[in-house]
Structure 1
Amino acid sequence: GAEEAMSYGIPTFKLNGKNLVHFSAFKEHIGFYPTPSGIEKFKKELSAYEWAKGSVKFPLGKPIPYALIGKIVQFRVKEVKGQMSVKGKKKA
């Protein structure tokens, strides 16, 4: 399963040594960093929030979208596992 770690100076979940997502707390929002691919895949669902290439801000005054965060994390798990299986295959 995923492990808790510190990476880039912020809390991170890692899977087999690879970063899944990072997160951090600020005065007015929670920063969630699922990598650029995690943002790109869920751009439509994230349109209600302020986001950038690899990050999204969830304002503290609004409900936290736990279901969406879960979907993004599941996507990242599949992505990381896919990267690992591709790297493990031998070229013919």
Structure 2
Amino acid sequence: MAAAKTVDDYLAALPEEVRPVLQEVRRTLHAAVPGAGETISYGIPALTSGGRAVVHFAGWKHHISVYPVPDTAGDAALEAELTPYRAGRGTLKFPLNHPVPLPLLARVAARLLEQRTHRPEDPD
């Protein structure tokens, strides 16, 4: 399979059972990151703000992944909600055999945007 050049191309190449879930994830993340742009970064879709990647998302055969995990320092409630989905230091993994917690994904994206906006310039 050739590398996707657009998010729509990426979604079109997904298996039928994964595509609608990832489309809903895409809509949810866009609602949480107003005015976001889209790009393919590291071979997967990413939302951008101010030309900088905010959140990446990907569809796999059995799960959806969201990258990176926001800093949850000072927010024990958010950390508790994210803990069951952590799959490595910077990855959240949501199995497709359970409903994807879209409100949680919206909070993750909003938190990442806030952290990205208030962080000094750094290379992507």
Whether these two folds match at TM > 0.5 is: yes
**In 2: Cα distance, 1:19 partner to 1:65 partner:** 22
1:32 aligns with 2:66: yes
| Residue 49 of structure 1: how far off its partner (Å) | 2.2
- Pick the structure with more helix per residue: 2
Residue correspondences, number: 82
- Pick the structure with more strand per residue: 1
1:90 counterpart residue number: none
Per the normalisation by structure 2, the TM-score is 0.60
1:22 aligns with 2:56: yes
1:55 counterpart residue number: 91
C-alpha root-mean-square deviation of aligned residues, in Å?
1.5
Unaligned segments of structure 1, at least 5 residues:
88-92
- Percent identity over the alignment is 33
Unaligned segments of structure 2, at least 5 residues:
1-34, 73-77
| Residue 48 of structure 1: how far off its partner (Å) | 2.2
| AA at the equivalent of 2:36 | A
Per the normalisation by structure 1, the TM-score is 0.79
- 1:26-84 per-position Cα deviation (integer Å, ceiling 9, x unaligned): 11000111x24x1x41432112224211111100000101011000111111112112x
